Structure 1
């Protein structure tokens, strides 16, 4: 299939906000609140974030925060959903890249794009795509990583003919879980990532995928 084939990787269903933004001003206000939350997560983590801190950082009233988010958990879920959408956009771009001639290279680049997201996306190091909140399961009992794995396999199947099977999806999901644990550790103290942990993650995931479905 052509490298220019459109690959649609759907994002997670949107978090239900108290008021959905319908005007440009409302959308900008919501973006400012999420940007403020992301910067606070980078500084103090998800446990210490409060809605008052977000309001102050965004230059908004606490009432404005509650207009969209009934509590801090929904706010964090919304930030996790945004992180999910943005990392999936990077993964999509990596798989569609015409420079990739086979699925192995595309998948390797996709994993690298996730690591790059840790470095460049505010709030991603502390929250990632929201799995660690463990509050509201996705439909059919899936996690965010199982959804990422499902979309990855669909995209690789569409472009490179990779088998779209339960075994392939499980392998990708397990690989994502392994990578996430090691890469999260790599960025725990270093905003640029500890290269030793990143290299171990890359090697371990490559070996695991190679053993199960070939790399």
Structure 2
């Protein structure tokens, strides 16, 4: 596939507007505790049933403390989704940079495996992921959560293996991510460890789709 390489701003995580940004270690720890509490509740009851009162109780904080940072439950979930985004991206980049991967295909397989591992081990990720299901409106510059992930993956592959960082490449990765997300989310719908059959379909067919549509 030939496509003109374009220059774009570095992909950044979706912005979340907190009422008060933590400026001291104590405030940062309090915010972390609230997000940890929210993550555990999402794992237990899902995003639809989560309330700010539940988060306050789980974190051992007052409801006023929750509202000090989050004006409502949606912003709280968006903040958790933003944290998930950064954590899963760190996993992906580490996987791509793993010296054991000798080519981009191995690196991409390892990266996708790291996302599946996040479903199993990252609190709140199975039910919320990066928060894309909370609000489907495009992010600034017309990007979506999946396009941000695709951009970072391509940037990491370009830095490690010199692959082409083009609009066509990013689109193929984003399309693959959309397909994989649907299949993997289904795999973990009722099974915290994931349904192997759905995971296998995602790994095999999405990998083939990407390989067939990228001419590296």
TM-score interval for Structure 1 and Structure 2 normalised by the shorter chain: over 0.9
Quick check: 187-196 or 136-145, which moved more?
Answer: 136-145
Structure-1-length-normalised TM-score: 0.93
Q: Deviations over 1:117-146 (max 9, x none)?
A: 000001001100011001653211211110
Structure-2-length-normalised TM-score: 0.92
Contact 1:90/1:110, CA 8 A, preserved across alignment: yes
| Number of the residue aligned with 1:70 | 71
In structure 2, the CA distance between the partners of 1:69 and 1:135, relative to structure 1 (3 Å rule), is farther
Q: Deviations over 1:16-58 (max 9, x none)?
A: 2100001111011000000000011111111111100100111
Contact 1:11/1:88, CA 8 A, preserved across alignment: no
Contact 1:11/1:84, CA 8 A, preserved across alignment: no
**Is there any run of 5+ residues in structure 2 with no aligned partner, and where?**
1-9
- State the Cα distance separating 1:214 from its structure 2 match: 5.2
Query: Is 1:152 aligned to residue 150 of structure 2?
Result: no
In structure 2, the CA distance between the partners of 1:15 and 1:136, relative to structure 1 (3 Å rule), is farther
- State the Cα distance separating 1:147 from its structure 2 match: 0.5
- State the Cα distance separating 1:14 from its structure 2 match: 3.9
| Number of the residue aligned with 1:5 | none
Quick check: 96-105 or 60-69, which moved more?
Answer: 96-105
The count of aligned residue pairs is 207
Where does 1:47-196 land on structure 2 (aligned, <5 Å)? 47-134=48-135, 137-196=138-197
Distance in 2 separating the partners of 1:173 and 1:10: 13
Distance in 2 separating the partners of 1:200 and 1:214: 23
Counterpart of 2:23 in 1: which secondary structure?
Answer: coil
Distance in 1 separating the partners of 2:14 and 2:45: 28
Distance in 2 separating the partners of 1:175 and 1:29: 37
Q: Deviations over 1:70-121 (max 9, x none)?
A: 0001000000000000000000101111111111111110000000000000
**Is there any run of 5+ residues in structure 1 with no aligned partner, and where?**
1-8
Give the structure, 1 or 2, with the largest relative contact order (CA under 8 Å, sep 6 or more): 2
